Amino acid sequence: MKLAFRNAFFSLSHSLIPNTSHNLQIPLLSISAIRASPSFPLPSSVLRNERVWLFCAASDSSSSMASVPNSASLSSSVEKQFEEFRLQLEASGSLRERIRAVSMEIESVTRLMHSSILFVHQSRPVPEVLEKAKVQIGALKELFHRIAEIIRECPSQYYRYHGDWRTETQTVVSLLAFMHWLETGNLLMHKEAEEKLGLNSSDFGLDVEDYLIGICFMSNELPRYVVNQVTAGDYDCPRNVVKFLTDLHAAFRMLNLRNDFLRKKFDGMKYDLRRVEEVYYDVKIRGLTTTENTMDDNGAQE
């Protein structure tokens, strides 16, 4: 009798303080065996613990079974999402490569145009220089048309790919503006630049910042042009360039420019104007300007 009571006591103690290294089924079976014996009625706390353990074991098994399909569906949705990302990135990369290929052709054409314009610094006749440079405008117009056709394949994505041809566009604007100034003595307007390149503001236009930066690049050529013209005996050139750059610099002052690349190029225009003013001062102090220009300067000062 004592032996049976001792065995029942050990079984009951194991059920109340289970060992974490054993499976939950061991104390549950012990309690069930004791409960089946009519000689040992169990306290209500033991029966309550038995129900709790049974519930926990059932919930653990059900949650482990339910986690398998949930993780599978989550993995499938993540894989589907990244597959879509892969396709989008591949399409974007292919489109960008096509744009860059055309941009490289634009750069090649601008090099030819620039090499032709450089002869103006050697006192070559301006009409002759411009005639050779204008031959490349048709090629540029065709290349920009090709970029416009590529961008039409992805509507509302102009500025996403704009950086792939921005630098080339700024160089083209600077060359066109310099040629226009050599021919007319006036500034190439934004709308005129778009017309020369066959661009349409409503569809594929010339970005305003690209135009302004191109104009700043153009001003960098004027100090060198003035020095070479004075060396060749054209003493009226500094005065004309000073007037043009002064008006252009004043127009840029109307813009509220941020501290970015455009602002830095605008600051460079100030030094271009100063260099031209120094040349003009040297020419004027030596009395090399014409009488008409001297009278105009005196009238402007009054």
Domains of the chain: residue spans and CATH: 2-59 (no CATH), 88-206 (1.20.58.190), 225-294 (1.20.58.200)
pLDDT of residue 55: 46
Letter string b/e over residues 251-290, b meaning 16 or more CB atoms within 10 A of that residue's CB: ebeeeebeeeebeebbeebeebbebbbebbeebbeeeebe
Asked whether 198 and 141 are in contact (CB, 8 A), the reply is yes
pLDDT of residue 228: 93
Q: What are the residues facing 204 on neighbouring strands?
A: 200
pLDDT of residue 301: 41
pLDDT of residue 176: 97
pLDDT of residue 54: 44
pLDDT of residue 75: 83
pLDDT of residue 289: 79
Token pair, residue 72, equals: 């599978």
pLDDT of residue 56: 47
Over the stretch 50-103, which tens digit does the pLDDT of each residue have?
Answer: 454 444 455 555 555 445 556 777 788 888 899 999 998 998 899 999 999 999
Give the residue ranges of the chain where pLDDT is below 50: 2, 9, 20-31, 33-34, 36, 40, 42, 46-48, 50, 52-56, 65-66, 294-295, 298-302
pLDDT of residue 23: 45
Percentage of the residues of the chain whose pLDDT score is greater than 90: 54
pLDDT of residue 59: 52
pLDDT of residue 135: 93
* Distance separating alpha carbons of residues 53 and 278, to the nearest angstrom: 97
Asked whether 94 and 159 are in contact (CB, 8 A), the reply is no
DSSP state of 17: S
